[in-house]
Structure 1
Amino acid sequence: MRGQDLRRSEIHPRPFVMGILNVTPDSFSDGGRYTDADAAVEHAFRMIDEGAEIIDIGAESTRPGFTPGPAEEEIARLIPVIERLRQSSDVIISADTMKTETARAAISAGADIINDVNALRWPGMLDLLSESDVPAVVMHMTGSPADTHSQMVEGPVIDAVRDFLNERIAAAEDCGISRDMLIIDPGIGFGKTMWQNGELIRNLDLIGIGLPMLVGVSRKRVLATMYPGTDMDEATVRASIMAAEKGADILR
C-alpha cells in the first residue's frame, strides 16, 4: 500500500475514517480503558462496524507535553493488539509511534502505516521506512512532544506548517523514501495557539503540498474555542465536516 492509496478519488470520494484505539494508561480521552488486548480488539471491531476503515493504535500517550518512555514498554502494549487484530481482520492498521524500535516491531506484526507525531525525526526512522514497503504519516510539530507547548509556531501558521512539512518530505526523499509513500498531518493541537489551530482548520486547503492529508480534530481543546457552548462530540463532527470540505483525505 502507498500513501497515495488513501487519497480521496472518484472511487472513494469521501475521506477515509480512522478510528482511534489507545492502549495506554494515560491517554487524555480513553486512557486505561483498553490496556487488555482482548478488550482493545473488541473495541476496534466496534469502530469497524461503525465505519472505521483504518484503526490507529497507540501504546504511548502523544498528548502535548508527554515524555517518551522506554520502547520496550510501548512494544509490550502495542504488538499483542496489532497481532490479534491482524489475525482476525483485513482492516488497515496504523501504528501510532515515534520510536524506530516500536515501528519496526509494529511492521513485523502486521501494521500497514506508521503514524509519527515526531515527523520521522527519531534516529533510524527514515532508514527503517526506506527499507519497508509501509507508508508513513508526517505530522507538523514545532520542537519535541515534551516541549511543544513552549515551542509555539511563530508567524503565519499555514506558511510554518507548509515549510516544516516540505522540509521533512525532502529529508525522507533524500533517504530514498518515495514521495507517494507519505501522508501529511498539520498537527492540530501541537505547538499552536488556539487561534492558530482554528486558523489552520479553516484553511487546510491552503497548505497545498499535494500529498494525502490526515486531520485529527477529535475532542481537541480548540473545538471549545471554535464552537463555544457546543457538546464536544457535536463540535468534533462540525470540525471534521469543515476539514473534509477543506480537503482532508483521512479524518482521525
Structure 2
Amino acid sequence: MERVFRYKNVELSSGNSTILCAIVNVTPDSFSDGGLWYGKDLAVNRALELIKDGAKMIDIGGESTRPGSTPVSVNDEIERIVPVIKELKKITDIPISVDTWKVEVAKAAIDAGADIINDITGFLGDPEMAKVVGNSKVGAIVMFNPIIARPNHPGSKIFPSFGGEGIFSEKELLEMETVQIEEVMKLYFEKSLQRAKECGIEKERIMLDPGIGFGLTKRENLCLIKNIELIHKMGYFAFLGVSRKRFICNIIQDAGFEIDPETEDGRQNRDLSSANLTAIASFLGTEVVRVHMIKSHLMASEIGDSIRLAEKMEDINFKSYSKKIEKEPIKVFFICKR
C-alpha cells in the first residue's frame, strides 16, 4: 500500500530512499549535544553543514526533553528557534521541522516559515495544538508518548511533564499498564488521530512516531522498532528517532564496548551503533529517520535501502579482483676482496 505525506505544496511518496532528518538542538542542556549549537549563528551553520553532508530535513528544537531536564518558558523557546528558522528559510528549501509540544511555540514557528510541527505529545499535550496545525498547511509528526499513556510507569517518572492530563480515563490508563506496548501505542494513536480529524488535519499531513526512548524499557523500545510495520499498516509514514538513545548504549555496553561520551571510542561507538539501527530501519521501510550525525547514517541508509529496493537495483556483473604481483626487491651483494 502506497503512503503519502504532504506539507504545504510538497508531497512525498513511500517506497523511496529513506529521508535523514538531522537534529539541531538550540539548547544548552540536550542529552548528547547540549550547548554545541546554542545560538542563531551556531545553529544555522550546523544546519547548513548537515545539509551539505546529505540531510534532507532539519528538526530544530528549543527545549530539551531528556529525563531530568528543566522546562523552558514559551518566550525562551521562541527566542531560541525563530531566528534560526527565518535565517534557514532564506537560504535553503530543505523542509524544517520544529520539535515542540507548546501551541504558542508552534504558532511562532509556523509564522516564521516552519514546514512541519513535530509534537512529541501527538496533539494530546496541549489541546489547542491540533487546531493550530489544522488551520495551517504544515505537516505534522505525531508521536506516541508513553509518559502520557503510562504516568505511573517507573520509566515515566524521571521525565518532565508533557501535559495530557485527563485525556485517558482511569480505566484506559489501567488497561495501558497491562497490555503489550504495541497495543498501548495503537490506543494512544486512536486518540491522537481522532483529535487531528476533528481539527481538519488530513491523513496525508501526518507521520507517526513510535516514541522510542520516552519512558520505555529496553525490550519495549526494541519491540516497537521491530514492529514499525504497524504504522505502515495504519497507512502512515513512519518517523523514527533512535540516535544515541540509552537503550542502544545499553546494548553495546553489555557487549563490552566503550560508551563514555568523554572518550573518542565512546563517541564513535554511540554513533556507529546508532547508524547500524538506521540501516535496519531503512531496510524495514521507515520513511524518515532522525539523527545527530549524517555521514555515517547516510552510508547505513544506503545499504538498508538497497536491500529493501533490491529489485530496482542495477543488475551488473562484477569483474574479478585484480591481483597485484609484488616484485621481490632486488638484493645486491658486494664482495669485498683484500
State the TM-score, normalizing by the size of structure 2: 0.69
1:106/1:189 CA distance change after superposition, 3 Å = same
Q: C-alpha distance in 1, partners of 2:75/2:212?
A: 28
Aligned residue in 2 for 1:135: 139
Aligned residue in 2 for 1:124: 128
Task: Indicate the larger mover: 50-59 or 226-235.
Answer: 226-235
The structure having more radius of gyration, on CA atoms, is 2
Task: Indicate the larger mover: 120-129 or 78-87.
Answer: 120-129
**Structure 1 residue 90: Cα displacement:** 1.0
Aligned residue in 1 for 2:243: 218
- The one of 230, 234, 255 aligned to 1:206: 230
Contact 2:20 2:56 in 1 (8 A): yes
Structure 2: any 5+ residue segments left out of the alignment? 158-175, 258-268, 291-338
Task: Indicate the larger mover: 79-88 or 224-233.
Answer: 224-233
Structure 1: any 5+ residue segments left out of the alignment? none
Aligned residue in 2 for 1:59: 62
Whether 1:161 aligns to 2:199 is: no
Aligned residue in 2 for 1:172: 196
Whether 1:237 aligns to 2:275 is: yes
1:187/1:40 CA distance change after superposition, 3 Å = same
Contact 2:123 2:195 in 1 (8 A): no
Task: Indicate the larger mover: 224-233 or 130-139.
Answer: 224-233
Contact 2:116 2:140 in 1 (8 A): yes
Task: Let me know the Cα RMSD of the aligned residues.
Answer: 2.1
Task: Indicate the larger mover: 13-22 or 202-211.
Answer: 202-211
- The one of 69, 83, 104 aligned to 2:107: 104
Q: C-alpha distance in 2, partners of 1:229/1:82?
A: 41
Contact 2:29 2:69 in 1 (8 A): no
Structure 1 residue identity aligned to 2:109: A
**Structure 1 residue 225: Cα displacement:** 3.6
Contact 2:100 2:119 in 1 (8 A): yes
Q: C-alpha distance in 1, partners of 2:60/2:83?
A: 11
- The one of 55, 73, 86 aligned to 2:76: 73
Structure 2 counterpart SS, 1:114:
strand
Structure 2 residue identity aligned to 1:39: L
1:212/1:153 CA distance change after superposition, 3 Å = farther
Structure 2 counterpart SS, 1:240:
helix
Q: C-alpha distance in 1, partners of 2:241/2:212?
A: 7
Q: C-alpha distance in 2, partners of 1:39/1:153?
A: 43
Aligned residue in 1 for 2:19: 16
The runs of at least 4 consecutive aligned structure 1 residues that moved more than 4 Å come to 151-154
Aligned residue in 2 for 1:33: 36
Structure 1 residue identity aligned to 2:240: V
How many percent of aligned residue pairs carry the same amino acid?
A: 40
Contact 1:25 1:35 in 2 (8 A): yes
Contact 1:23 1:78 in 2 (8 A): yes
Contact 2:56 2:94 in 1 (8 A): yes
1:64/1:211 CA distance change after superposition, 3 Å = farther
Mapping for residues 79-98 of structure 1, pairs under 5 Å = 79-98=82-101
- The one of 214, 217, 227 aligned to 1:193: 217
Structure 2 counterpart SS, 1:19:
strand
Structure 2 counterpart SS, 1:234:
helix
Contact 1:6 1:249 in 2 (8 A): no
Aligned residue in 1 for 2:336: none
1:113/1:205 CA distance change after superposition, 3 Å = same
Q: C-alpha distance in 2, partners of 1:240/1:166?
A: 27
Task: Indicate the larger mover: 149-158 or 64-73.
Answer: 149-158
**Structure 1 residue 153: Cα displacement:** 5.8
Whether 1:113 aligns to 2:145 is: no
Aligned residue in 2 for 1:5: 11
**Structure 1 residue 234: Cα displacement:** 1.2
Structure 2 counterpart SS, 1:18:
strand
Contact 1:96 1:116 in 2 (8 A): yes
